[in-house]
Structure 1
Amino acid sequence: MSAARAERLQRSLSSLVRSGGPLDSFAWDALDVLGRAVPHDLGCLATTDPATGLVTRTFKVGLPDHLDSEVARFEYEVDDVNLFRDLVHRPCPVGVLDVDTGGRPERSARWRELLVPQFGQAHELRSVFRSGGAGWGLLAVFRPSGAAGFSPDEAALVGSVATLIGSGLRAALVASTASDAGSSTGPAVLVVGADDRLAQLTAAGERRLAELGGAPGSVLPLPLLSV
């Protein structure tokens, strides 16, 4: 890993953290900075609940919403390589599918059944963003078949800023929660049927659903599918 490259990335992200912007701005800007440092075709940065590891908000580049239920299934129901709940415990919380399968990504059910046939992507890098020993966010980025895979140097580069991004997400989430306090017009209640579709919701629930990227009558957004 180039020291100069790592220093540039650290400076850019440190500036974002110090700016103290709202969650949306920080997440999109961090994803943009990471995309220039580690180029990829598709990607997702998400916030997570530090107590459970469940996704609470997603910021996607090029990824479709209609596959969120499959994404959740492979993350929470299928035993696979480089699950986020495993990465959070690694000294360097970054995984490259090609590397961690010994050059045989087909060993991964996620690769065989989701990434290649549905996303059209053959290479995956994942990271968990920790702060205070807990995961506050995660990253998954992809490259298509025929492109160069993610290198150990790129994994080390992301790992070198994982705690910095985790601290930034934590601060942005706390600030956003404080600014939202008292703004609800009532309890945000959503009743979900066995088919994973909304049966009922309150007015505040509809507002919260919109904040998560969903709408009545549409597929549930990934944070709700994760739960």
Structure 2
Amino acid sequence: MARRRRATLERSRRQVAGLAEDGLRWGDFAAAAQEVIDGIVPHDAAVLALVDPVSGILTDTFRTGLDDSLDELFIRLELTHPDPITMTTLTGRPDGVGILADHIPAGLHSTPRVRELLAPHFDLEHEMRSVVRSGGSMVAACGLYRAPHRPGFTADEAATLSALEDLLAAGVRASAAAAAGVAGVARAAPGVEEAQASVLVVEAEGRASGTTATAQAYLDQLGGGPGGTLPAPVRMVAEASRLRQAGHMVSPFVRARTRTGRWLMLRAAPLSGDPGSDRTVVTVEPASAEHTMELDLDLYDVTPRERMVVREVVAGAGTTAIAHRLAISAYTVQDHLKSVFRKVGVRSRRELVHVLTHPGAQGPVIGLGLGATVRKEMLRART
């Protein structure tokens, strides 16, 4: 039995590795990866989502077996009723996986997420979550769910999901490269000026009561739902602002990549002059390099020591100055830079600085660089 399980896992790793190597956009990769996961960890519903590692807000989500109609309730429960398998908690665990039933001795319905969200609205009860880390930060998350009449998730299934993390991370990085490639061709959507900010007012039920033409163009880039439903990042950042007003320590901002590959920064605040109202003002603008560089370094799997060198390079420091400031040799500086060049897919400091300081820019060989990292993981998966 153990041998068969190992063989099944290795086959699944090869399948996910192949998907990552294909360089699919996130939604396509997540959909295909979910089918692979369902073959080894059967489930009735699933969520695979990209995550802003700083705010913890989901930015691009693939779902099966449930919808996004209750995203505001989800983030409210996630941020105000913490349990042992919140995404932030799992990020600090070596395996990055948690089974809700293992931590709730009083029964699953004693946790608000099951009692108020999963059971009454989706007829789901059992939950297993995992995080996907790159560069030491959470860049994506996975939630698997089963109906009440099904058996709960097991430790073996948790180990199986954990064993896919490195290849899911490779898929996230490959999808980022694919998005950056799109941005290199289409730097801005028609009608949206570079670095132009816009605002919209979000009602409590998750709809906009007024938008400008520029704001609407941004919403179109982020992808809204039917009937004028706002994109999930907008609804979630608005809910985070309401929670902050209620005294919860949350961050009402998120960086989200658009369908055209550009990064946008979303910030939310209560509508001033409207006391007692749940209406929220969301500001949307192209993200600056300051807001995206660390996120890009996470996606490229740049190590903490390497990114110390990168920050110095972006600031304009030379090799000697970097070596002095970081108390390392000039040879070590060069070794770190060679590693970063390979991961990012550039050949020089100038190209590196350009890619990291122009959100949405595409280096001349960005695909090759990221592909090399992915292919290395592919080979490891096949051995």
Q: 2:219 aligns with which of 197, 209, 214?
A: 209
Counterpart-to-counterpart distance in 1, 2:16 and 2:199: 36
Aligned to 2:250: none
Higher relative contact order (CA 8 A, sep 6+): 1
Q: Which runs of 5+ in 1 are unaligned?
A: none
Q: 1:220 aligns with which of 207, 230, 240?
A: 230
Aligned to 2:13: 10
Q: 2:61 aligns with which of 58, 61, 65?
A: 58
Per-residue CA distance 1:180-224 (angstroms, 9 max, x = gap): 241323147341335243133344543443454425864433322
Cα distance change on mapping 1:105 and 1:25 into 2, 3 Å: same
Aligned to 1:193: 202
Q: Report the Cα offset of residue 45 of structure 1.
A: 0.7
Cα distance change on mapping 1:210 and 1:179 into 2, 3 Å: same
Per-residue CA distance 1:159-186 (angstroms, 9 max, x = gap): 0111220221122123303412413231
Aligned to 2:112: 109
Per-residue CA distance 1:42-63 (angstroms, 9 max, x = gap): 1111111233322111111121
Q: Report the Cα offset of residue 65 of structure 1.
A: 2.4
Cα distance change on mapping 1:78 and 1:37 into 2, 3 Å: same
Q: Tell me the TM-score normalised to structure 1 length.
A: 0.89
Identity rate, percent: 35
Q: Which runs of 5+ in 2 are unaligned?
A: 238-383
Aligned to 1:49: 52
Q: Report the Cα offset of residue 29 of structure 1.
A: 1.1
Matched letter for residue 200 of structure 2: V
Counterpart-to-counterpart distance in 2, 1:207 and 1:35: 36
Aligned to 2:85: 82
Structure 1 segments, 4+ long, off by >6 Å, are none
Q: How large is the Cα RMSD of the aligned pairs?
A: 2.2
Q: Mean alpha-carbon deviation: is it higher for 205-214 or for 110-119?
A: 205-214
Count of residues paired in the alignment = 227
SS in 1 for 2:32: helix
SS in 1 for 2:138: strand
Per-residue CA distance 1:66-102 (angstroms, 9 max, x = gap): 2122112112232233111111111011111112224
| Larger helix percent | 2
Cα distance change on mapping 1:176 and 1:192 into 2, 3 Å: same
Q: Mean alpha-carbon deviation: is it higher for 217-226 or for 114-123?
A: 217-226
Counterpart-to-counterpart distance in 1, 2:123 and 2:232: 20
2:58·2:233 contact (CA, 8 Å) conserved in 1?
A: yes
Aligned to 2:344: none
Matched letter for residue 25 of structure 1: D
